[in-house]
């Protein structure tokens, strides 16, 4: 099945992590987010990948090259991010006659369900949620063997079902000629208009996904890592000191160093060139990326430290994401829990938004540097390149009250 992977979006809800990189290139366990999607697609039966790029496209092109896990890769450039139908239209010249699949390059799908989707053409991937009001929701009807989709509605106050649109589709061959859609109410060219037409002219199956995750906002990057790091098996190829204690499924890659007195509770991934310790404590599904450093008496819990991020001395980092080359001064402390036990809130595109998580720490863009003894409150975001002074207390987000 020829498969279009949408990876051109600007990822504005993921700022500041997408200030200098495309969202599909954010690290999830051992590879970029979109690489998981691409691999699952190939395992499910993708014969060719057409990757639609636009925002910060160079790194995406470089990563995938002209072949990925044994299948050919072609790139289509979407010059202006005008919507998902527009992105697919950019890919259309690369399509051969016949049905085609479309996947979001910022979503994780389980392989068994994606395989079923590919076998059920035309089809759309559905996912059952308790409260669908913030998603695209499918109108469905039962047929003899499966569930048919009859339409889709964006963020309805009164949802027609609990099945939401996962952004995974197999379209019939004729849909290649249907991509010239008009602007939607929110001013975008939307693929759901093409889906509507497919539902009018074909029997479109709703294929239920067992696992699916849309990675649009920073805490969903933590969830993506929880999913994919959770699938790794224990492997120690790096230099692990005999006085270090490692429990559970922890991967220490070749070229990584774990020093004396360190305790790591898996699942966790310590990537090549990273150093941990002495006397550090890592737990709760954590990614320590290439050349990152976790130093003496530092505790890191359920967090992502991107390449070259350094937390050198006596600090606590919980439920947080630190961008590339972030440097935390000694005794930088992150709060990740509110005293009222309510879900932590954080700004997303200028609006205070609940993360839905009781525990959530901070998000630091690339190259943030904190002065010694900086205190960062739960839900704070620091833009790429931001600095704090020694002893600074960042109680609220620099723009908003949390």
Sequence-distant (≥ 6) Cβ neighbours of residue 89 within 8 angstroms: 179, 180, 189
Can you tell me which of 2, 84, 192, 286 binds ligand TTP, judged by CB under 6 A?
Answer: 84
Q: Please give the structure tokens belonging to residue 134.
A: 């913030």
Contact between 125 and ligand TTP (CB under 6 A)?
no
Find the binding residues for ligand TTP in span 60-79 (CB under 6 A): 78
Length of the chain: 402
Contact between 37 and ligand TTP (CB under 6 A)?
no
User: Residue 202: CA atoms inside 13 Å, Cβ hemisphere, count?
Assistant: 20
Can you tell me which of 21, 23, 116, 271 binds ligand TTP, judged by CB under 6 A?
Answer: 23
Question: What is the C-alpha to C-alpha distance for residues 246 and 223, in angstroms, rounded to an integer?
Answer: 23
Instruction: Output the smallest distance, CB 102 to ligand TTP, in A.
Output: 9
Contact between 40 and ligand TTP (CB under 6 A)?
no
Question: What is the C-alpha to C-alpha distance for residues 384 and 361, in angstroms, rounded to an integer?
Answer: 17
Contact between 105 and ligand TTP (CB under 6 A)?
yes
Residue bearing tokens 């639609």: 52
Question: What is the C-alpha to C-alpha distance for residues 292 and 8, in angstroms, rounded to an integer?
Answer: 28
Contact between 380 and ligand TTP (CB under 6 A)?
no
The catalytic residues are 313
Can you tell me which of 42, 87, 114, 204 binds ligand TTP, judged by CB under 6 A?
Answer: 87
Can you tell me which of 2, 4, 11, 64 binds ligand TTP, judged by CB under 6 A?
Answer: 11
Contact between 184 and ligand TTP (CB under 6 A)?
no
Segment near ligand TTP (CB under 6 A); pick from 6-14, 233-241, 296-304, 327-335: 6-14
Question: Cα(first)–Cα(last) distance of the chain, in Å?
Answer: 46
Instruction: Output the smallest distance, CB 83 to ligand TTP, in A.
Output: 5
Which class for 79: exposed (0-12), middle (13-18), buried (19 or more C-beta within 10 A)?
exposed
Instruction: Evaluate whether 393 touches 375 at the Cβ level (below 8 Å).
Output: yes
Contact between 89 and ligand TTP (CB under 6 A)?
no
Question: Which residues are at the interface with ligand TTP (CB under 6 A)?
Answer: 6-14, 23, 52, 78, 81-84, 86-87, 104-106, 216
């Amino acid at each position: 099945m020829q498969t279009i992977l949408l990876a051109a979006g600007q990822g504005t809800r993921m700022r500041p992590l997408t200030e200098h990189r495309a969202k599909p290139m954010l690290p999830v366990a051992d590879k970029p987010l979109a690489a998981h999607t691409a691999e699952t697609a190939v395992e499910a039966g993708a014969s060719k990948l057409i990757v639609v790029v636009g925002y910060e496209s160079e790194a995406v092109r470089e990563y995938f090259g002209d072949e990925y896990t044994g299948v050919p890769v072609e790139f289509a450039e979407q010059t202006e991010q005008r919507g998902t139908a527009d992105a697919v239209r950019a890919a259309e010249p690369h399509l051969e006659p016949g049905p085609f699949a479309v996947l979001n390059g910022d979503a994780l799908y389980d392989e068994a369900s994606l395989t079923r989707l590919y076998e059920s053409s035309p089809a759309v991937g559905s996912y059952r949620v308790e409260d669908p009001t913030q998603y695209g929701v499918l109108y469905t009807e039962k047929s003899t063997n499966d569930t048919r989709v009859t339409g889709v509605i964006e963020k309805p106050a009164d949802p027609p079902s609990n099945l939401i649109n996962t952004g995974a589709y197999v379209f019939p061959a004729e849909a290649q000629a249907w991509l010239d859609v008009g602007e939607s109410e929110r001013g975008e060219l939307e693929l759901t208009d093409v889906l509507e037409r497919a539902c009018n002219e074909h029997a479109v199956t709703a294929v239920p996904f067992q696992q699916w995750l849309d990675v649009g906002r920073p805490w969903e990057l933590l969830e993506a890592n929880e999913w994919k790091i959770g699938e790794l098996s224990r492997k120690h190829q790096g230099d692990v000191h005999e006085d270090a204690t490692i429990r559970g499924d922890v991967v220490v890659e070749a070229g990584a160093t774990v020093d004396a007195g360190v305790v790591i509770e898996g699942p966790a991934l310590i990537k090549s060139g990273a150093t941990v310790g002495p006397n550090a404590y890592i737990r709760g599904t954590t990614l320590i990326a290439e050349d990152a450093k976790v130093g003496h008496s530092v505790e890191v819990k359920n967090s992502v430290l991107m390449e070259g991020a350094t937390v050198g001395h006596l600090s606590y980092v919980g439920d947080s994401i630190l961008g590339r080359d972030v440097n935390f001064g000694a005794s930088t402390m992150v709060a990740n829990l509110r005293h009222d036990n309510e879900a932590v809130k954080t700004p997303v595109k200028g609006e205070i938004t609940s993360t839905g998580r009781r525990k959530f720490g901070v998000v630091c863009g690339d190259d943030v540097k904190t002065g010694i003894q900086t205190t960062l409150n739960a839900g704070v975001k620091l833009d790429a390149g931001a600095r704090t002074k020694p002893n600074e207390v960042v109680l609220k987000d620099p723009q908003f009250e949390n």
